[in-house]
Amino acid sequence: MQFEDAYKEVYEIVKPKYKLFTAGPVACFPEVLEIMKVQMFSHRAKEYKEIHVDTLKRLSDFLEAKNGEIILFPSSGTAFMEAAVRNTIPRGGKVLVTIIGAFGKRFKEVVEANGRKAITLEYEPGKAVKPEDLDEALKKNPDVEAVTITYNETSTGVLNPLPELAKVVKEHDKLLFVDAVSAMGGADIKFDEWGIDLVFGSSQKAFGVPPGLAVAAVSERVFEIAEKMEEKGWYLDLPLYKKFNATKKGTPSTPPMPQIFGLNVVLRIIEKMGGKEEWLGMYAKRSQMIREGVKEMGLSVLAEPGYESPTITAVVVPEGMKGEDVYNTMRERGFELAKGYGAGIKEKTFRIGNMGYMTFEDIQEMLSNLREVIEELKD
């Protein structure tokens, strides 16, 4: 490398200093980082096409989406909120937005920012959406066209009961949009069986890949509506992506190729680990270890029992302690957790993510440091 100094100057700033238990971006598998270093080439070359098609196939299997089309967006996950709305809901149309935390609120903002109307079903932090409430809200608002659900609310560490909620949405014959950004790769998704219309995730969460790639499975019904939708724009035109999958084996504009190679590596790692069940079992075990660990310290978990997230835990700090102090002190010890996030809980909580590349030993080490930090801060 002729300009190694240039590399070193940047490396000094961004070099890894912490063990990550973040909400995303998360630590990546070394195999992922390795493949992302390869020299670039044209995204219309046959080598890219091979990886593109293989990634679609592997994602389709992972999400159990035989009846859906897999779409790769050169963007972060939020773009799919906008795409869902713009491709299916006419201007002024109504969407029932369920809110159990900050990311449910974001979906509402996206609906409204695009000139559509949001009807909300909102819960206090730590609670999950209940199927009977959703049923009632849909009975009261028969004119909504779609329902949005945050599968895993990253701000509160709550996993919504998606299969039960999806059933209610189908009974009312509405479109179902699922924000699975912090769930995809860490919690099960059965696209066909649950009758989802659009479910999206981001590379930088439970897949453990750098940011810049969004992934979704989209139903035939969405494409039928989208084909006739006016003013859906170009960049987020879902039928256009479907067409490019089929004809060009690629995306309409240039995709983040390194991230797609990285994701493909992760999907192969999952297969080599024994498949989806093994992989999701690992996530369940990681999060359980964290919940048990913090409870042993006398701390409580924000999520109501039975709805705990497999990818992130929001921990309530004792009276008189600040979540941010826990975050900062752990950082001094070389562990990056996540700060509390969202109205009313920012100060009172901190969060421990268990997404991406980490070992069970890393979790134990983090927990024993956390135990000491909590004791220190009590004094």
Could you give the CA distance from residue 310 to residue 279 in angstroms, rounded to a whole number?
A: 12
| Segment interacting with ligand PLP (CB under 6 A) among 72-80, 156-164, 346-354, 371-379 | 72-80
Find the binder of ligand PLP among 67, 76, 141, 328 (CB under 6 A): 76
Cα of 324 vs its chain's centroid, Å = 23
CB of 333 to ligand PLP, least distance (A): 25
Our CA angle for 66, 68, 73, nearest 5°, is: 125
Closer residue to ligand PLP (CB): 218 or 225: 218
309 touches ligand PLP by CB under 6 A = no
Residue at 1: amino acid letter: M
55 touches ligand PLP by CB under 6 A = no
Could you give the CA distance from residue 158 to residue 190 in angstroms, rounded to a whole number?
A: 19
Find the binder of ligand PLP among 19, 22, 24, 348 (CB under 6 A): 24
Closer residue to ligand PLP (CB): 32 or 225: 32
CB of 29 to ligand PLP, least distance (A): 19
Find the binder of ligand PLP among 154, 259, 329, 349 (CB under 6 A): 154
| Number of C-beta neighbours around residue 304 at 10 A | 14
The answer for residues whose C-beta is within 8 angstroms of residue 194's C-beta and 6 or more apart is: 162, 163, 166, 167
259 touches ligand PLP by CB under 6 A = no
Query: Are 257 and 44 contacting, i.e. CB atoms less than 8 angstroms apart?
Result: no
Query: For the stretch 61-70, what's the b/e string if a residue is b when 16 or more beta carbons lie within 10 angstroms of its beta carbon?
Result: bbbbbeebbb
State in Å, rounded, how far the first CA of the chain is from the last one. 52
78 touches ligand PLP by CB under 6 A = yes
**Residues binding ligand PLP: number (CB under 6 A):** 11
Closer residue to ligand PLP (CB): 102 or 225: 102
CB of 132 to ligand PLP, least distance (A): 24
Q: What is the dihedral of CA 307, 99, 209, 239, to 10 degrees?
A: 120
Q: Pairing relation of β-strands 349-353 and 338-339?
A: antiparallel
Encoded one letter per residue, x for contact with ligand PLP by CB under 6 A and - for no contact, window 175-204 reads ----x-xx-------------------x--
Closer residue to ligand PLP (CB): 60 or 182: 182
Provide the binding-site residues for ligand PLP, judged by CB under 6 A: 24, 76-78, 103, 150, 154, 179, 181-182, 202
